Amino acid sequence: QSALTQPASVSGSPGQSITISCTGTSSDIGNYNYVSWFQQHPGKAPKLMIYDVSNRPSGVSYRFSGSKSDNTASLTISGLQAEDEADYYCTSYTSSSTWVFGGGTKLTVL
């Protein structure tokens, strides 16, 4: 049950776009479309941003989008805003009938 691999930090200026990668294996991301992305502000519970690789729940800004290629999923945030500064986590279902999270990425809006 090794964690998915995310960059520890990413940054961007307001208005720019950034992408956060989430790399797994053929036993998780590569074999299932059950990849979700969560945003977490300090002291708060995680909030769903993307589910099933690329679906955006109602109420989440169109600026957030998800994709997947082979064993790597990605979250792209366009038109960065100050309120996007947070920690972001990916998660995937696995072939062991478990779930695995990424280590988290701290997004800084410069």
Binding site for other proteins (CB under 8 A): 1, 3, 34, 36, 38, 40, 45-48, 51-52, 57, 89, 91, 93, 97-104
Residue 53 — φ and ψ, nearest 5°? Answer: 75, -50
User: What is the nearest approach in angstroms of other proteins to the Cβ of residue 110?
Assistant: 23
If the CB atoms of residues 1 and 13 are measured against other proteins, the closer one turns out to be 1
Positive or negative: CA dihedral 53, 55, 90, 80: positive
Q: Say how many C-beta atoms besides its own lie within 10 A of residue 56's C-beta.
A: 17
- Minimum Å gap between C-beta 33 and other proteins is 10
Closest CA to 10 of 101, 92, 80: 80
Residue 79 beta carbon to other proteins: minimum distance, rounded to whole angstroms: 24
